[in-house]
Amino acid sequence: MNQNFICPKCKGYLNVGESIVLSAETKTGAKGLIYFSPEIGNYTIKKNTNFVIEEGEKHDFFCPLCQRKLAADIHDNLSHIIMIDKDKNEYQILFSKIAGEKSTYKIIGESYEIFGDQKSSYLDFINLSLGK
Ligand SMILES: [Zn+2]
C-alpha cells in the first residue's frame, strides 16, 4: 500500500495490511469493526456476519484507537479520515455514514475528487466548505 490513513484526532494509523479498520455503531447501539478497502471508490467491506447493517441506515464511525467520533464538520451524514500518500501529501477523505450510499470526497487544498454512484449528494456542502 502506497498510502496511509490516519485518525484526524489522535493521528493513529487506521490501515493494516490491505484494509482500513474503523469501529462502527448502528442507531440501535450495535457495535462492530468494519474493514474498508484503501482503494477510494471501492465500497467492498468486511465485517462480522452477526454485526448487521441495514441498507439506508445511518451509523457512526469511531477511531478504534482513541474512540473519538470521526465526524465531518460540513455535514452530519459524512465521516472524516485523513489519507497521506507516498509523497506525504495530506488529503481529507469524507465518506457517507449511510449504508449503501456511495459518496466519497478526496480533498486537498481547494481541489477535490469525487467517487461513488451518489457522489453528487454532498457536493454543495463540499463547495461551500471550500468557499466555492
Ligand atoms: Zn483516533
Q: What's the average model confidence in pLDDT over 46-56?
A: 95
Is the pLDDT at 3 greater than 70? The verdict is yes
The confidence score (pLDDT) of residue 1 equals 55
b vs e for 88-118, b when ≥16 Cβ sit within 10 Å of the residue's Cβ?
eeebbbbbbbbeebbbbbbbeeeebebbbee
Grade residue 123 by pLDDT with cuts at 50, 70 and 90: very high
d(CA 22, CA 9): 13
Domains in the chain: boundaries: 4-129
The amino acid occupying position 95 is F
Q: What's the average model confidence in pLDDT over 13-19?
A: 96
The SS3 of residue 21 is: strand
The confidence score (pLDDT) of residue 126 equals 93
Instruction: List, in sequence order, every beta strand (DSSP E) within 37-124.
Output: 45-47, 60-62, 78-84, 90-96, 104-108, 111-115
CA 83 to ligand 1 centroid distance, Å: 14
The confidence score (pLDDT) of residue 46 equals 96
d(CA 58, CA 77): 7
Neighbours of 122 (CB within 10 A): 24
Looking at the DSSP bridge assignments, the partners of residue 35 are 21, 46
**60-112 per-position pLDDT tens digit:** 999 999 999 999 999 999 999 999 999 999 999 999 999 999 999 999 999 99
The confidence score (pLDDT) of residue 2 equals 83
CA 7 to ligand 1 centroid distance, Å: 5
The confidence score (pLDDT) of residue 95 equals 97
CA 23 to ligand 1 centroid distance, Å: 11
Q: How far is CA 10 from CA 25, 81, 116, in A?
A: 19, 11, 28
CA 22 to ligand 1 centroid distance, Å: 10
The amino acid occupying position 127 is N
